[in-house]
Amino acid sequence: MEFKNNIIEQIGNTPLIRLNKINSGLKPQIFAKLESANPGGSLKDRIGFAMIQDAVDSGKLKPGGTVIEATSGNTGIGLAISAAVLGFKSICVVTDKVSIEKIDYLKAFGTEVVVCSNTVKHDSPDYYITVARKIEEETPNSIFLYQYSNQSNPRIHYNTTGPEIWRQTDGKITHFVTGIGTGGCISGVGKFLKEKNPNIKIIAADPVGSILKEFKEGKTIGEGTPYLVEGIGQDCIPQVIAFDVIDEFRSSNDFDSFNCARALTRQEGIFCGGSTGTILKVVLEIAAELDENAVIVFIVCDTGERYLSKFHKEEWLRENRLMKKEIRTLSDITNSKKLRSGNSEIVFVNSNEKVRKVVELFDTKGFSQVPVIEDYKSVGSIREARVMSKLLEDQSLLDAPVSKIMDVSFPCLESRTELQAAKKYLTESPAILVLEYGRIIDIITRYDIIEFSEL
């Protein structure tokens, strides 16, 4: 029989996956250390087990006890797994920045979840770490594991993640890149790798808004500004960070981080969270500065499943103005217009309507052209400048039917037409009619193209 004795034995020994597409044109070999392949879907399964086991070994945690943690979610999940197997209760204090998927996940393991506001100051009694301390005081036989100062955190990465990377790269690794939440991973892995080869560069990827990069660079520390990537970056300095093993910090903004995470998923099939996107942005940046002798390893911190209601969803990206420009066809423009105005009605006239009606339309709606449509088919067009010059000559035309003064129809193009091809028609005509299965669904003007190309 081939089996593991329990799910804890499945933690660690995660694979290294080579990147093949997203790095095209770059010279170094780049490998993703797939921490998302841990049973709880993140690198935090390792410390979840280590912090509990070390607390048991040191006698601080007794059978039937409760483990408490202040966590952005992943550590809680890691703890919940080991607590379940080893027979402990768990309580997690999270901030309301954490995705609903992570909270539900914890609850599924029977963990009690306490949610605190993300915006309160550190000296507030409602600050999530202060709340966790209070729960420890009030709960008999409990321990607040506090990953930010718990040395079991960097130690397990020194004992497992570091040696795995060294072995898997056959000692050829030249650069290690990861993010810093508590700093456990970078400190443990960094220390191990530096001991093996002090020339290995340890690089931290920090979200724009975090204070860690500035701190390392010796600059005055500001307050930190909000950002949307979860799990990494800080507005204060965690105790476990071993700054001496970190050679360099580089930053990435939310836009680049989320779009890199999405690209890793779509191009390499590696489903990941936003912190991995921050790390990958930095990896691709340094890879562009290195030659073919470089071997870069970076951490895939957690799985993208945890962010399905967030940056892996286009609506969320649009709401947060983080959507990458991907307008390629007329249908993309039609969809963006619908999303923005919520209105998809096309304004048009019939050929037997009076010219007066068209003039009113130009006046009230601010249009410069309207299509003449009958039975969903375009039969002509009215363009403001031409109508006005005809009316100047003969004002009685106001009561004539539209058919008397209309021009040829605007070009009709299928919604799947490439934007580039459609643009050519707009040099001649002020607008294009968009067709879907032969029916007119939208009118796109030169103005629309300019506006939506800028998004």
Ligand X SMILES: Cc1ncc(COP(=O)(O)O)c(C=O)c1O
Among 184, 233, 277, 304, binds ligand X (CB under 6 A): 184
SS3 89: strand
> Binding segment for ligand X among 178-186, 193-201, 312-320, 355-363 (CB under 6 A)?
178-186
- Helices 355-365, 384-393: inter-axial angle, 10-degree rounding: 130
Paired residues of 382 in beta bridges: 370
Position 304 contacts ligand X (CB under 6 A): no
Which two three-digit tokens encode residue 71? 């966590």
Identify the residue among 273, 304, 371, 380 touching ligand X (CB under 6 A): 273
Distance CA 161, CA 202 (A): 14
Check 4, 21, 33, 44 and give the catalytic one: 44
- Tokens at 203, concatenated: 């690089």
| Beta carbons of 15 and 32 less than 8 angstroms apart | no
Stretch that binds ligand X, among 226-234, 280-288, 332-340, 426-434 (CB under 6 A): 226-234
In contact, 384 and 368? CB cutoff 8 Å: yes
Find the binder of ligand X among 77, 296, 301, 440 (CB under 6 A): 301
78 binds ligand X per the rule CB under 6 A: no
Q: What is the DSSP string of 421-445?
A: HHHHHHHH-SEEEEEETTEEEEEEE
- The yes or no reply on residue 76 touching ligand X (CB under 6 A) is no
Q: Which residue from 92, 103, 177, 185 is in contact with ligand X, where contact means CB under 6 A?
A: 185
Q: Could you tell me which stretch among 3-11, 134-142, 228-236, 317-325 binds ligand X (CB under 6 A)?
A: 228-236
Q: How far is the CB of 185 from ligand X (least distance, A)?
A: 3
Which of 181, 207, 233, 371 binds ligand X (CB under 6 A)? It is: 181
Of 41, 190, 231, 304, the one binding ligand X by CB under 6 A = 231
Instruction: State yes or no: residue 79 binds ligand X (CB under 6 A).
Output: no
Q: How far is the C-alpha of 45 from the C-alpha of 177, rounded, in Å?
A: 19
Alpha carbon distance 48, 40 (integer Å): 10
Q: x-or-dash pattern for ligand X, window 26-65, by CB under 6 A? A: -----------------x----------------------
CB of 71 to ligand X, least distance (A): 8
Supply the minimum distance, in Å, between the C-beta of residue 342 and ligand X. Answer: 35
- Smallest distance from ligand X to CB 454, Å: 33
Is 44 a catalytic site residue?
yes
Task: Work out whether 169 is an interface residue with ligand X (CB under 6 A).
Answer: no
Evaluate the CA torsion angle 76, 79, 84, 88 in order and state its sign: negative
Q: Return the residue of 48, 179, 190, 209 that touches ligand X, per CB under 6 A.
A: 179
Site for ligand X in 388-447 (CB under 6 A): none
Total site size for ligand X, rule CB under 6 A:
18
Q: Is 74 in the site for ligand X (CB under 6 A)?
A: yes
| CA gap 198, 190 in Å, rounded | 10
Cβ contact 55:143 at 8 Å: yes
Q: Which tokens belong to 164?
A: 């795995």
Measured between alpha carbons, how far is 264 from 22 in angstroms, rounded to an integer?
7
| Closer to ligand X by Cβ: residue 106 or 186 | 186
Q: CB of 156 within 8 A of CB of 35?
A: no
Tokens of 105: 């996940």
Nearer to ligand X among residue 73 and residue 380 (C-beta): 73
In whole angstroms, give the CA distance from residue 334 to residue 340.
10
Candidates 20-28, 181-189, 352-360, 446-454; binding stretch for ligand X (CB under 6 A): 181-189
From candidates 23, 29, 36, 72, binder to ligand X by CB under 6 A = 72
Contact segment (CB under 6 A) with ligand X among 105-113, 121-129, 206-214, 224-232 equals: 224-232
The partner residues of 371 in beta bridges, in order of sequence, read 381
Q: Does 382 bind ligand X (CB under 6 A)?
A: no
- Alpha carbon 122 to its chain centroid, in Å, reads 27
Q: Are 47 and 81 spatial neighbours (Cβ–Cβ below 8 Å)?
A: no
Nearest to 429 by CA among 453, 404, 451, 412: 412
Using rule CB under 6 A, residue 77 touches ligand X: no
∠ CA 42-47-49 to the nearest 5 degrees? Answer: 100
Check residue 94 for interaction with ligand X (CB under 6 A): no
Provide the 10 A C-beta neighbour count for residue 43.
Answer: 33
CB 115 within 8 A of CB 95: yes
| Shortest Å, Cβ 279 to ligand X | 8
If one asks whether residue 302 binds ligand X (CB under 6 A), the answer comes out as yes
Nearer residue to ligand X within complex by CB, 26 or 296: 296
Cα–Cα dist 425/428, whole Å: 6
**Taking CB under 6 A as the rule, does residue 180 contact ligand X?**
yes
Is 277 a binding residue for ligand X by CB under 6 A? The answer is no
Catalytically active residues, by annotation: 44
The footprint of ligand X (CB under 6 A) covers 43, 72, 74, 179-186, 230-232, 273, 275, 301-302
